[in-house]
Amino acid sequence: MTYDPSLRVLTVLELLQAREEVTGAELSRRLEVSPRTVQRYIMKLQDLGIPVEGRRGVGGAYRLKPGFRLPPLMFTGEEALSLALGLRALKQLGLHTLTPAAEAASAKLKRTLPHSLREEVQALEKAVQLDDSPWVVSTNAATLAALLRAVREAQTVDITYTSNKGAGTRRRVNVYRVMHVDGRWYAVGWCQLRQELRSFRLDRIRDLAVLDETFTPPQDFDALAHVRAHPCSQPLHDISVWLACPPEQLHGFLSVWNTDIRAEEGGTRIRCQREQLDFFAAFLLSVPCEFRVDSPPELLGAFQRLGERCHALLHTD
């Protein structure tokens, strides 16, 4: 690996920021220079006012003085671009309320960049367009932030939760994880009212309060696995259909959430659970290939209802 002199010094600073302590031997190996040259780089940082402390002798090491506040961050081109695009993509996660904060953070990021790198990032940003998906549900950033603090401190939350039928109930929940999947944010944890693990959509949470009450969360809890096995809305119909096209051609048509998709007999087998068969029937009609319904029989009734609606529409005077 080739380093110019200034990049070597910045690399030393980056390693010292990332680690509590770094040995001289490791710095020498990472930079592919002699231990004496490493000492010169350390002296250069010290000359710049950065308090690097060293331990002499065999196994000597370096560290930044505890409590030292580092100068403004320095980014590579790829790091700066990833941050800029990440800030723009917050809307894709339903966090529209963070737009002003994201714009302010983006402006601060640009001010920290050298002129040439700032122009490059701005040009790349202009070349990229991100469309808001209609399936992404807007979420209150303050609710998300409060839940994340509750997870970190293992504190119980008190919420009003609105069901899919519109009824609101007061709940106390030990939140283990917060997750984003299929366009929605979820809090997953122990519901004290129901006395079982439950998942709660953040867009249905109201009047959230973080309590002083604490709990011991389970180790290595997998929220994604739980929500896949226990979706928020209880499914009523087991669906199995075969489509006359390979799985890769269905990309973009079908949500993979709570859905099993497998290649079968030159086509694709879809198994899933849904409450609204009419919606799923309409989806199947939108897929550009032939299909066969194996179950449930009620799905055929959904197609009949859609057909009647289409017939009425086409024969309206």
List, for residues 246-282, the tens digit of each pLDDT value.
Answer: 988 887 677 666 688 899 999 999 998 887 888 899 9
- Nearest alpha-carbon partner for 137 in 211, 70, 203: 203
Summarize the confidence of residues 57-64 as an average pLDDT. Answer: 76
pLDDT category, 194, cuts 50, 70, 90?
very high
**Is the full-model pTM beyond 0.75?**
no
Assign domain 237-314 to its CATH architecture: 2-Layer Sandwich (3.30)
Mean pLDDT check: name the lowest of 23-37, 113-127, 236-250: 113-127
Q: Residue 298 above 90 pLDDT?
A: yes
Residue 317: per-residue pLDDT: 61
> CATH for 141-227?
2.30.30.520
List, for residues 209-237, the tens digit of each pLDDT value.
Answer: 999 999 999 999 998 888 777 665 555 68
Residue ranges of domains in the chain: 5-64, 77-127, 141-227, 237-314
Answer whether 239's CB lies under 8 Å from 272's CB. yes
Q: Which fold has domain 5-64?
A: Arc Repressor Mutant, subunit A (1.10.10)
